[in-house]
Structure 1
Amino acid sequence: MRHILLPAIAGLLLAGCNLAPKYVRPALPVPASTPDYSAPAAAAGAAIVPADTAWRDFFVDDRLRGLIALALDQNRDLRLAVANVEQARALYRVQRSDLLPGVAASGGATYQKSPVGGLGGGGGGAAAGAGRFDIYSASVGVSAWEIDLFGRVRNLTPSAQEQYFASEENRNAAQATLIAEVASAWITMAADQERLRIARDLERTFGMALELNRARFRAGVASELEVRQAQTSHDQARSDIAAATALVAQDQNALNLLAGTTVPADLLPAALDEREAMLDNLPADLPSEVLLRRPDIAAAEHRLRAGNADIGAARAAFFPRISLTAAFGVTSLGLSNLFQSGSESWSVAPTASLPLLDFGRNSGNLAYSKASYRALVAQYEKTVQQAFREVSDALARRATIGDQLAAQRSLADGARAGHRLSEARFRSGIDPFLTTLDAQRTLYAAEQGLLTTRLQRGLNAVELYRALGGGLR
C-alpha cells in the first residue's frame, strides 16, 4: 500500500496549480534620476556608495564609532525590531510545515467485557473472564494532511515568508535610522558644547566692556546710558550660557536614551571640530533605482509580494479541499502478540470538501485580498516617493551648504575684525560706545550663525547617507 500511496501523492502535488497572479514590480512613480542641483565638486576621491559603505567606514571619529556600537548593542527599539524578526521567522516555519504531512506515532489499548461472550456452554461451562477482550494497537501515520492541488497552502507559505523578509528589512531600517539619530544627536551635542563656549567667551569680552564703562562712568567720562547698553550685551550672554548649559544636558539625555544606557564621558563630544566626523565624498546625482536598496522600500515590496500570494490563497478557497488521513501499524488481542506476524493493519481515509453555499464568504475574502493588494501598491509607491523627496531635499541642501558656510565664515571673520576696530576706537575716544555695542551684537550673531551652518552641514551629510540606504552594514 505504501508503494502505491506515496507515488500517487507525489503525482497530485506535481499536478497542482498556483492561482496567484504573476507578480510584477510596480514602476517607480518618480523621475528616472535625482535632481541635478549643480553641486560643487566633491571631496578628493571617488564618491562612495552609501548602501555599500559600512557605518564604521563612513563615520571617522572614534568616539562617535564607539557610541554607535554601544547603541546598536543596547538600544531597546532595535531589540524590539529583532524580536519582531524572530516572531515572523517562527510564524513562517509554522506555515511552511503545512506543506508536508506531519507524521505521528500513537499507541493504545482497549479493555472491553461483554456478557454476550459468556452465554451458552451450559451450567457454568464458560471459563472465568469469558467475554473480555483486550485490544492493543500501535501505528504511525498522518492526520488530515491537505493535498494542496490548487495552491492554497503554497501561497500562504510564501506570504508568511515575505512577511518575514519584510520584518528583516524593518529591522534594517530601524538600524539605519538609529545610526543616523545617534550621529545627529552626537553632532548636535558637539554644536551645543561649541555654543556654550562661544557664549562664555563673549560673556567675558562683554564683561570687560561693562567694567570699562562703569569705570568711565565713575570717572565722569561715560554716561549711565552707555553702562546700561553694555549691561544688556553682558546679560544676554549670561542668559545664553544658561540656555546652552541646559541644551548640553538635554543632548546627553537624548544620547543616553538612544544608546540604551549612560554614555561614558570619553564617548561624548567636547566641541564641533572643524575636521568632519564623517566622510564628505557622497554622490551628487544618482539614478532612482538606487532607492530600491533602502530597507523601507524593500520591506514595502516584500509586503506587496505577500499580498499577491494572499490573492492566490483566496482564489484557491473556491475549489475543493482534499485532505488525507492514513495510518500503518499493528493490532492484536494480546500485548504479547502485538508485533507478531499477521498483526499488521492499515487505514487510508481521504476526504474532500467543496463549498456550495457560503453566503459570500469566499467572495468577500477574495475582494478583501485584492483591495489589500491595491492598498499595498499605493503604500509602496508612497514609500518610494517619500524616499525620493528625502534624497532630493538632502541633495538640494548639500548643493548650497558649501556656499553658505563660506559666506558665514567670511561674515564671522569680518565681524571679529570690526569688533576689534570698534573697541579700539572706543577706547581711544574716537567712537561712542553705541558703535562698539553694535559690533558686539553683530559678532555674536555671526558666531552663532557660523556654528548653525556647520551643524547643518554635518546633519545634512548624515541624512544623505541614511536616505541613500547607508547604515545597514
Structure 2
Amino acid sequence: MNIKMVSMGCALVLLVTGCTMIPEYSRPDAPIPEQWPQGPAYQEAQDTLGAPLPAELHWRDYYADEGLRQIIDLALENNRDLRLAALNVERARAYYRIQRAELLPSVNATGSAYKERIPADLSSTGQRMTAEEYRADIGISAWELDFFGRIRSLSQSALEEFFATEQARRSARILLVSEVANAYLTLAADRENLELAQATLASQQGAYDLIRRRFEVGLVPELDLRQVQTRVDAARVDLYRFIELVARDENALNLLVGSTVPPDLSPPALSGLTPMRPLSPGTSSEVLLTRPDILQAENLLKAANANIGAARAALFPRITLTTSVGTASSELSGLFESGSGTWMFSPRIVLPIFDPRTWAALTVTQVEREMAVTRYEGAVQSAFREVADTLAQAGTLEDRLKAQQSLLEATEATYRISNLRYEKGTDIYLGVLDAQRSLYAAQQGLITTRLTQFANQVRLYAVLGGGAE
C-alpha cells in the first residue's frame, strides 16, 4: 500500500512539473545601435560617464529638494492611477493562481438522497413499492492529466502576464514621479514669471505716472504717454495670465498627488530650487533592456510563446479522470454501516482526429508571437529614440543657458542706456520701449531655459529607468 501511495505521489509530481511543448525562448536582438549617438550635441552626456546610472539611484537621492521629496511621497501614497496599477497586479496574480490550480484535482464531498414511488406495473416484483437511496461520496471530477503540458503552458502564460502587470506598475510609478517633478517645476517657473510680471507692471506704472506728469505740464508729447500706457496694459495682461497659470498648475499638482498639497510644501522660485544630481546614460544602450516598459513587452512576448505550447498540446490526446469513494444504502440509518462502501473509477480519453480549429488556433498563437516580437522591438526603438533626444537636449542646454544669461545682461545694459538717453533728450521714448520689451522677453527666456534644463534632467532620469523600486 505504501509503495502504491509513493508511486501515485511521484506521478502527481511529474504531472505538475513535467515538460511542455513551449518553444525554446530566446530574447530578440535589439534593433538599435550598441552605443549612444555621438556628436557635438552629446558632449555633455560624454562628460558625465563617471556619474551613477539612473536605475541604480533612488529618487530620494536624485531629487535633492526637500519639498519635492515630500510631495512625491504624498503622490506615491494617494495617486489613484498608481493605486489602480497595483490592483491590476493583484488581479493578475489571482488569475495566475486560478490557472495554476488547474494542475491539481478538485476534491469534493457530496451527499445525496433519492426516493421514488414505483407503480406495480413497473415494479420488478409486480407490486408497487417505494425505492430509496442515500449516498455520501468524496471524489474527483473531470481532472485533466496534463501529460502534454497544455495546462502548464497556460499557467506559464498567466505567470508572464502577471509579471507584465508588475512591470506596468513600475512604469506607472516612474511616470508618476516624473510628472510630479515636472508639475512642481512648472509651478515654480510660473510663480517666478508672476513675480516678474508684478515687478514689470510696477516699473511700467511708475514710468507712466512720471510721463503723465510731464505731459500735463507740456514737457513731453502725448505719443510718449500713449506708448508707455501700452506697456502698462501689456504688463497687466501678463499679470492676470500668470495668475491663471499658477492656479492651474496648483490644480494639476493636486490631481497628481491625489490630495491638496500643503501650502508649506509649495515650491520657491525656480532659481531657488536645489539642483539634481548628475547622471550617466552608461556606455551602452543595453541599459534600456532594464526599463520596466521593455521588460513588460518581453514578458508579454514570453506569454505569447507559452501559448504556442498550449496550442500544440491541444493536438494531442486529452485524458481526464473522474473517481469517487463513499458509502450508499437504501436506508439512511444504514448509510455508514459495514458493507455499504462504494467506489467509482472513470477515466476518459479524447483523441483529436479531425478538427481544423486546433490547427488554426496554433497558427493564431504563432502569429501572435510574431506580433509580440514586433511590439518588443518597437518598444526598444522608441526607448532608444527617447534617450537620444533627451541626451541631445542635455548636451546643448548648458550653452543655451549661458547664452541666455549673456543676452539678459546685454538687454539690461541696453535698457539702462536707452533710459539715460531719453532723460537727456537725445533719444525718443520708442527706444526705451523697445529696450524694455527686449529685457522682459530676455528675463522670461531665462526662466524658460532654466525650466527646460530642470525638465530635461527629470526626463533623463525617467527614460533611463530611474524612479522604480
Do they fold alike, i.e. is TM over 0.5? Answer: yes
Aligned to 2:393: 397
Aligned to 2:214: 216
Aligned to 1:204: 202
- The answer to whether structure 1 residue 423 and structure 2 residue 425 are counterparts is no
CA displacement at 1:231 relative to structure 2:
1.8
Asked if the contact 1:15/1:149 (under 8 Å) is kept, the reply is no
Asked if the contact 1:39/1:284 (under 8 Å) is kept, the reply is no
CA displacement at 1:224 relative to structure 2:
1.9
Q: Higher mean Cα deviation, 410-419 or 319-328?
A: 410-419
Asked if the contact 1:42/1:281 (under 8 Å) is kept, the reply is no
Q: State the SS of the aligned residue for 2:427.
A: coil
Once residues 35 and 188 of structure 1 are traced to their aligned partners in structure 2, the CA distance between those partners, rounded to angstroms, is: 29
Aligned to 1:369: 365
Aligned to 2:26: 24
Q: Say if 1:11 and 1:282 are closer, same or farther in 2 by CA, change over 3 A.
A: closer
Asked if the contact 1:20/1:310 (under 8 Å) is kept, the reply is yes
Aligned to 2:134: 136
Once residues 46 and 273 of structure 2 are traced to their aligned partners in structure 1, the CA distance between those partners, rounded to angstroms, is: 18
Q: Higher mean Cα deviation, 440-449 or 424-433?
A: 424-433
Q: TM-score, normalised by structure 2?
A: 0.92
Aligned to 1:124: none
Q: Say if 1:40 and 1:275 are closer, same or farther in 2 by CA, change over 3 A.
A: farther
Once residues 282 and 427 of structure 2 are traced to their aligned partners in structure 1, the CA distance between those partners, rounded to angstroms, is: 53
CA displacement at 1:41 relative to structure 2:
7.6
Once residues 212 and 46 of structure 2 are traced to their aligned partners in structure 1, the CA distance between those partners, rounded to angstroms, is: 53
Q: Say if 1:382 and 1:11 are closer, same or farther in 2 by CA, change over 3 A.
A: closer
User: Counterparts of 1:293-332 in structure 2 under 5 Å?
Assistant: 293-332=290-329
Give the counterpart letter for 1:10 in structure 2. Answer: L
User: Counterparts of 1:198-347 in structure 2 under 5 Å?
Assistant: 198-276=196-274, 278-347=275-344
Q: Higher mean Cα deviation, 79-88 or 26-35?
A: 79-88
- The answer to whether structure 1 residue 92 and structure 2 residue 100 are counterparts is no
CA displacement at 1:468 relative to structure 2:
0.7
Q: State the SS of the aligned residue for 2:133.
A: strand
Q: Which of 60, 67, 70 does residue 66 from structure 1 map onto? A: 70
Where does structure 1 lack aligned partners over 5 or more consecutive residues?
A: 121-129
Q: State the SS of the aligned residue for 1:145.
A: strand
Aligned to 1:106: 110
Asked if the contact 2:400/2:449 (under 8 Å) is kept, the reply is yes
Once residues 150 and 424 of structure 2 are traced to their aligned partners in structure 1, the CA distance between those partners, rounded to angstroms, is: 93
Give the counterpart letter for 2:259 in structure 1. Answer: T
Q: State the SS of the aligned residue for 1:39.
A: helix
Asked if the contact 1:46/1:281 (under 8 Å) is kept, the reply is no
Once residues 281 and 218 of structure 2 are traced to their aligned partners in structure 1, the CA distance between those partners, rounded to angstroms, is: 62
Once residues 288 and 158 of structure 1 are traced to their aligned partners in structure 2, the CA distance between those partners, rounded to angstroms, is: 30
Give the counterpart letter for 1:201 in structure 2. Answer: A
Q: Which of 444, 448, 452 does residue 456 from structure 1 map onto? A: 452
Residues 115-149 of structure 1: CA deviation (Å, up to 9, x unaligned): 547659xxxxxxxxx95454332222211010111
CA displacement at 1:98 relative to structure 2:
0.2
Once residues 42 and 220 of structure 1 are traced to their aligned partners in structure 2, the CA distance between those partners, rounded to angstroms, is: 62
Once residues 228 and 423 of structure 1 are traced to their aligned partners in structure 2, the CA distance between those partners, rounded to angstroms, is: 17
CA displacement at 1:220 relative to structure 2:
2.6
Q: State the SS of the aligned residue for 2:228.
A: helix
Q: State the SS of the aligned residue for 1:101.
A: coil
Q: Say if 1:34 and 1:15 are closer, same or farther in 2 by CA, change over 3 A.
A: closer
Aligned to 1:151: 149
Once residues 214 and 16 of structure 2 are traced to their aligned partners in structure 1, the CA distance between those partners, rounded to angstroms, is: 102
Give the counterpart letter for 1:384 in structure 2. Answer: V
Q: State the SS of the aligned residue for 2:461.
A: helix
CA displacement at 1:6 relative to structure 2:
2.0
Once residues 155 and 461 of structure 1 are traced to their aligned partners in structure 2, the CA distance between those partners, rounded to angstroms, is: 43
Asked if the contact 2:45/2:280 (under 8 Å) is kept, the reply is no
Q: Say if 1:374 and 1:321 are closer, same or farther in 2 by CA, change over 3 A.
A: same
CA displacement at 1:287 relative to structure 2:
1.4
Asked if the contact 2:317/2:352 (under 8 Å) is kept, the reply is yes
Aligned to 2:43: 38
Residues 250-282 of structure 1: CA deviation (Å, up to 9, x unaligned): 111111221222222222223213443x52311
Once residues 255 and 58 of structure 1 are traced to their aligned partners in structure 2, the CA distance between those partners, rounded to angstroms, is: 20
Once residues 327 and 300 of structure 1 are traced to their aligned partners in structure 2, the CA distance between those partners, rounded to angstroms, is: 45
Q: Higher mean Cα deviation, 220-229 or 379-388?
A: 220-229
Once residues 164 and 11 of structure 1 are traced to their aligned partners in structure 2, the CA distance between those partners, rounded to angstroms, is: 24
Asked if the contact 1:32/1:288 (under 8 Å) is kept, the reply is yes
Q: State the SS of the aligned residue for 2:148.
A: coil
CA displacement at 1:284 relative to structure 2:
4.5
Q: Say if 1:8 and 1:174 are closer, same or farther in 2 by CA, change over 3 A.
A: closer
Q: State the SS of the aligned residue for 1:144.
A: strand
Aligned identity (percent) is 46
Once residues 380 and 45 of structure 2 are traced to their aligned partners in structure 1, the CA distance between those partners, rounded to angstroms, is: 27
Once residues 200 and 393 of structure 1 are traced to their aligned partners in structure 2, the CA distance between those partners, rounded to angstroms, is: 36
CA RMSD of aligned residues (A): 2.4
Aligned to 2:437: 441
- The answer to whether structure 1 residue 351 and structure 2 residue 348 are counterparts is yes
Asked if the contact 2:281/2:464 (under 8 Å) is kept, the reply is no
Q: State the SS of the aligned residue for 2:278.
A: coil
Once residues 42 and 59 of structure 1 are traced to their aligned partners in structure 2, the CA distance between those partners, rounded to angstroms, is: 21
Q: Say if 1:279 and 1:213 are closer, same or farther in 2 by CA, change over 3 A.
A: same
Aligned to 1:51: 55
Give the counterpart letter for 2:20 in structure 1. Answer: N
Once residues 284 and 300 of structure 2 are traced to their aligned partners in structure 1, the CA distance between those partners, rounded to angstroms, is: 24
Q: Say if 1:220 and 1:149 are closer, same or farther in 2 by CA, change over 3 A.
A: same
CA displacement at 1:414 relative to structure 2:
2.3
Give the counterpart letter for 2:262 in structure 1. Answer: P
Residues 226-265 of structure 1: CA deviation (Å, up to 9, x unaligned): 2222222222211111111111111111112212222222
Give the counterpart letter for 1:86 in structure 2. Answer: E
Asked if the contact 1:42/1:282 (under 8 Å) is kept, the reply is no
Give the counterpart letter for 1:183 in structure 2. Answer: A
Give the counterpart letter for 1:27 in structure 2. Answer: D
Aligned to 2:180: 182
Q: Say if 1:457 and 1:307 are closer, same or farther in 2 by CA, change over 3 A.
A: same
Asked if the contact 2:422/2:429 (under 8 Å) is kept, the reply is yes
Give the counterpart letter for 2:58 in structure 1. Answer: A
Asked if the contact 1:75/1:259 (under 8 Å) is kept, the reply is yes
Q: TM-score, normalised by structure 1?
A: 0.91
Q: Say if 1:340 and 1:375 are closer, same or farther in 2 by CA, change over 3 A.
A: same
